[in-house]
Each structure stands twice: as C-alpha cells, then as structure tokens.
Amino acid sequence: MQPCWTVHNTGDVIAQARQTLTATDYQFWRVCQPVEEIASTADWTTVVATLTRSTGMSRSFITRNLDALYTLDQLPQLRALVEATWVLDMHQLAIIDRAVARAPQGLKGDPFFWATLDTDLVARMTPSRAHQLLPTDKALREVVQSTIRTLQTPADTQPGPADPDQGPVDEDPAPFMRSLPAAEDTLPAGLWIDTLDNGNMRFELTVDQATGTFLSDAITQTARDVDASPAQAMISMLLEGVETTVTCHLYTARDVPGAPVYHPTQGILTEKAAQDLLGMVDSDLNMDEAAHAVTPSYRPTAAIRAFLVGRDWICRWPGCTSTATTGDNDHRINHADGGPTTSANMVMLCRHHHNRKTDVQATYLLDPVTGDVYWHFADGTWAVSQAIGPLAPVEKRWVQTYAQRRGRRDEAAANRALAEEFEAYQARTAPVEKEDADPPVDDDPDPPPF
C-alpha cells in the first residue's frame, strides 16, 4: 500500500466530506483575502467591517484566518501541497501562523528561515506509512518551534535601530503584531499580582526558560506525589514546605556537535537554557543500551522508561497529545501473559486511554524498529501512529541536519551579502550613458541652397 494520511481514505465517507469542506473553506478565505496591501489601521478596519458585514464573522476570527493565509504565502512548497491535497485545514494553518509569530524579528526577516521552515513542514506533512494519522496541533507547533530554535542566534532578538526622523505611523495591526519579538525575548523575570472582581487573586510569574522548565517539573512531580492539581501543589510547596525529588530529563546526541537539547514538555530548548540545565546534570543514561534493555519486573527501569518517553513523547492513542512523562507504560502483550518489559513491547499511554486499551476498545501492533503503532478498531478500520520523540528513528535522522543548520544559515547570509556587494560594485562602475547633445543652433539667416 502507498503511504497516505487517514484523512485521504477514499473509502471513508467522513474523510471525503472533510476533504470537500477543507477545500471549500480554503477557497472562501482566498476570496476574502485583500488584494492590495493594507496601508493603515483605518484601511484594515474597513476591510474587517466589510467582511463582517458579508459573513457575520468576528474581527478576531477573520484576522486569524487571513493571517494564516499570509504566512502560507511565505511557504510556497507547503502552499502547493495544501492546494493539491487539502491535507491541512484553516485551523491547522492558523496553528502554524501563531507558532511562526513567536519567532524573533531578526529570524523572520531572513529568507533562509522561511525556506527551511517550508522544507520542514512539507517533510512533516508527507506520510511515510499507509493510513498514517495526521500530526496533531501540538506536533505542528513543535515543527515550527524546532526550526526557530535550531536557527536563531542572540542577534535575532536584538531590536533594530530606531529612526529618529520617523514619526508615529498608523499601521495595519496584523503585520505589526507579527513583527513583535516573541514574548520570552522581551519580558524580564518578574511577578505580577492581580485582584479579580470576585476577590480572588491571580499570580503571574515570568522566568527564564531553564528556571521555568525546572520549576514546571517540580510542580508536576509534587502534584503527583500529593495527588493534587498543579495549582494546589504549588501552594503546598510555598506554604506547607512540601518537598519532592525532581528528575528533569534532557535528551541530546553526545556524538554530534551542536546537537539540539530536548525536554519532554518544552521541546527543543534555547541554547542558553540547554547550557544551564546541562550544567545541573548529575547522571547520564545511555539510550542506545536502554532501547534493548529487558527487566523481569513489571515496572520498567528508569532507563527503559526514559527511552519510552524519549521515543513516544506523547500518548500513542490516535489524536491524544497528553505528555508521555505523565503517562503509563503499557505492555502490548500483557506482562502476566509473558510479555517482556522492554521497549519493543511497550508504549506510553495516558491513564484514560490505557484503560480504554485494557477494555479492548482497540488493539495495536508495535513495530519495534520504527516505533510505529498500528491501531486496530472494532469497526475493522486501522491507523498508524508514528513516534515523534527525539529518540524515534525518523527524528534521530534530523539531528545532524539540525546541527548543521546554523552554519548553513550563516553561509547563505554571507553569500547574499556578497551578491549585494557585487551588485553595488557593478552599479558604481557601470559606464554612465550620456544623453545625446542637442544639435547646434544655426544662426545664419541665409542658408546655402543645398
């Protein structure tokens, strides 16, 4: 069978209806898209008012979808794929747009970033298995986030020089919002306390990524220890002195210089956060060994579980995006029936879907080489869930690519600067074409007869 997405199943009436709806909705928004560049807030307000009049849709909904088309237009390969297959709908395109909006302004002005992102998204949206499940919204965000973090440098987050001669400009708010640096690049560490109308209080804390990652892991572990919500766990840590032991898992390829560092809930870490957290590491686990390790116990060893989390990343049930770190280790062949406790016989499932699998509402087969999970349902249909963690084979092949990207971006920038310099040189040295001089004026009142 040829690789394909489940949404392209010609024998599935619902999938075919989705295709028709996706194509129609996309074409509708192309009709709504302004032809001319919006020059001011007043113009944008008029455009939105006109569309609201004709559609009954809200300003925010209209802006969200038009922004999605704007970003798609910067990604020619992805646009061609979408218009040929309708694999992504407007909601998913908007997910990509909002993720791109978080890129530093210096990166968004670099053609290499857009070309790389275009390639990455098309690669993610190209199936490798028959009946493969579409990437989730979270997976789409992570593709964009990974591209950003493997290309950005500290210089990308620096604001450009201000023009002292330029006064305030009334701009289209959509491009203006896209031009703003990502929130984490602009907000300093700080605590904000707000009293709500009903007397409750809201606390908002902003910290650097390394601190936030470690704090998030501590809250999650405490919530698990005391069987409470994350909010209550944080209160217990602050007011009751509740203590916990936090294990912060980081994944990276030690044999590849410049390889990205992954965290189960944060994805690829920024360079600074990776350095800070790696400096706190007190033990290393060899994932190559863990991939083949076996234990007679029902519970996997710490190394085996770490491998399962790093391979699966999320709950493997179709469509679920629960983080693998909070999930259960499920034996495909039950341990009581002789199933071994090893990665080749286990996947990560959230508690809810673990119970559904135990109730035999669905069964699965696991490919131990690729990590692919083949789900079989009671109605006779099936679907493939591809492992998306950094230890999954499809992801491990990208590590070398990621490690080389910043160098390729610098090379592309240098080539572009050289080309611009050569064009400027040609302009300076090109011969100046002189206009033909006017013919001399004949002042002789008696010209010759010839």
What is the 3-class SS of 309-370, one letter each residue? HHHHCECCCCCCCCEHHHCEEEECCCHHHCCCECHHHEEEECHHHHHHHHCCCEEEEECCCC
Averaged pLDDT, 64-88? 97
Specify the higher pLDDT residue, 36 or 139.
Answer: 139
Averaged pLDDT, 389-394? 89
What pLDDT does residue 358 have? 85
Q: In this prediction, what percent of the chain has a pLDDT beyond 70?
A: 79
Q: Over range 157-174, report the average pLDDT.
A: 43
In tens, the pLDDT along 245-297 reads 888 999 998 877 778 899 999 999 988 999 999 999 999 999 999 999 999 99
Residues 7-55: tens digit of each pLDDT:
999 999 999 999 999 999 999 999 999 876 666 666 888 889 999 999 9
Q: pLDDT value at position 390?
A: 92
CA distances from 387 to 56, 119, 304 (A): 41, 20, 16
pLDDT band at 149, cuts 50/70/90?
confident
**In a 10 Å sphere around its CB, with 0-12 CB exposed, 13-18 middle and 19+ buried, how is residue 187 labelled?**
exposed
* pLDDT averaged over every residue in the chain: 86
pLDDT > 90: percent of the chain: 66
Please say if the pLDDT value at position 440 is more than 90.
no
414 vs 359, more confident: 359
Q: Which has the higher per-residue pLDDT, 35 or 393? A: 393
Q: Is pLDDT above 90 for 126?
A: yes
The pLDDT, as a whole number, for residue 172 is 46
* pLDDT for residue 34: 87
Identify the pLDDT of residue 416: 67
Residue type, 200: N
pLDDT of the residue at 410: 66
- Is residue 218 over pLDDT 50? yes
- pTM to 2 decimals? 0.77
pLDDT higher for 199 or 406? Answer: 199
- Mean predicted confidence (pLDDT) in 106-115: 92
As a whole number, mean pLDDT of residues 140-156 equals 86
Task: Out of 44-58, 384-398, 401-415, pick the least confident.
Answer: 401-415
Of the candidate ranges 21-30, 131-140, 228-237, 411-420, the one whose mean pLDDT is the lowest: 411-420
Half-sphere CA count of 414, side-chain side, radius 13 A:
6
Task: Give whole-number Cα distances, 162 to 102, 155, 167, 188, 431, in Å.
Answer: 22, 16, 11, 21, 36
| pLDDT (mean) for 350-377 | 93
Q: Where are the domains of the chain?
A: 6-153+398-413, 285-391
